[in-house]
Each structure stands twice: as C-alpha cells, then as structure tokens.
Amino acid sequence: MPSAADILRGLTLIASDFVLLAVGWHAALAVALVAIFGERWKPSHRNVAVATALPLASVSALAWAHGNPFNGTTFALLSVGVGIVAVRSAPREPIAQGARWAVALGVVTLAYAWAYPHFLESYPAWTYLIAAPVGLVPCPTLGALLGLGLVTGGFRSLAWSIVVAIAGLFYALFGMLRLGVWLDAGLLAASVAMLVAALAPRLRRGSRRETAAAW
C-alpha cells in the first residue's frame, strides 16, 4: 500500500493533468440534472443509472494510468457492478424525483461534489466551479453519484443504492482516517443518507405487515 503522501500526490496529479476532462464530466452532470428537474426530456431511471457506470470507469482508467492499481481495480469492478444492477433492477419508467428530504440532501451533495475543494490547490478558486475532479478521483465522483441517487430515489433500485452507498462509506472513511482529508465527511454523510433513503421505506413496510399480522 502506498503512503498517504504518495496517494495524495497521485490524486493531485490526476486532477491537475485532466482539467478539461473534469469540465466534460461537469457538463455531463449538468445534462443529468436537466433531465431530472426539467420537464421536456425524461430518460428512464434505467438509462441514467446505467450511465452512472461511466464516470466510475473513468476513475478506474486514470488510476491505472497513474500507478494506483487498488483504485483502478476497485472502480473497474464498481463500474461493472453498477452497470449490471442498473440493467437488472432500475425501472424503465421516466426519471422522477424522490422524497423531498432526500432531494434536498441530494442537491447539497451535488453542490459538494460539483465544487469539491481539494486537489487543485495550484489553480484559482473559481476553477472548482467547472473543473473539480468529478469523474477523475474517487470521492467527488462517488459524491456526485450519491447526489443523483438521493435526488431520484436511488433510481428506484435498492441494489444500485446499496452498492454506491457502501463504496461511498469505504472511500469516505479511507479519505478521512488514512489520508487525513476530513472534507470527505460530506461523502460519509451522503452515504449514510443514501442507505436511509433506500432502506427506511422497506423497513416501514415490513413493520406495518408485522403489525397487521399481529392483529
């Protein structure tokens, strides 16, 4: 395992060398938000959920290219896993918003990921608004996906929600405890919120069924 300093150096190098790619991922995220909050164009939950595998694949490719086989392997597997569960479990119905509280948290999480203020120290502050390393390094990428998941009710897919939330929990804790990036507490909060949003309705339904059976 590389040292924390080496890992951070590699992530900083990726963020600095691929600013234009980050701008492209911001544009793709903006298109997704237009689909979710707009009225004229409504792709299906399944199509957008499948598309979330692409930024994960991007993180994997850049990690491999910069000598980080752990992130390269993890995000390659995560990309494939997210794509599979999206195809198998996300519905074909037009994309829609989730519960109000989850939408509110999702918007905050998207803002956090959109302008993730780390790894671009040598650039002007305004650069974060268009080129924070979404689609380049793990934490802002997972933050963006969790934000989309919260806003859309996890694309109506329990499996997608759990897979992305668990990945977010792992990388948030790794970033905080191993790398000392306490900014990743935002990713931790978003991951927990995604799990609550995904599991709470099912737990309530199960509780109601048990109560009804008891009566």
Tens-digit pLDDT profile for the chain (215 aa)? 678 899 999 999 999 999 999 999 999 999 999 999 998 899 999 999 999 999 999 999 999 999 999 999 999 999 999 999 999 999 999 999 999 999 999 999 999 999 998 888 778 888 889 999 999 999 999 999 999 999 999 999 999 999 999 999 999 999 999 999 999 999 999 999 999 999 986 655 544 554 333 34
Query: Which tokens belong to 80?
Result: 């494939």
| Domains of the chain: total | 1
145 lies in a domain?
yes
**Domain span including residue 103:** 4-204
Non-local (6+) Cβ contacts of 75 within 8 A are 56, 57, 59, 60, 63, 138
Q: pTM value?
A: 0.92
Q: Which of 92, 194, 89 is nearest to 145 (CA)?
A: 194
Q: Within a domain: residue 214? A: no
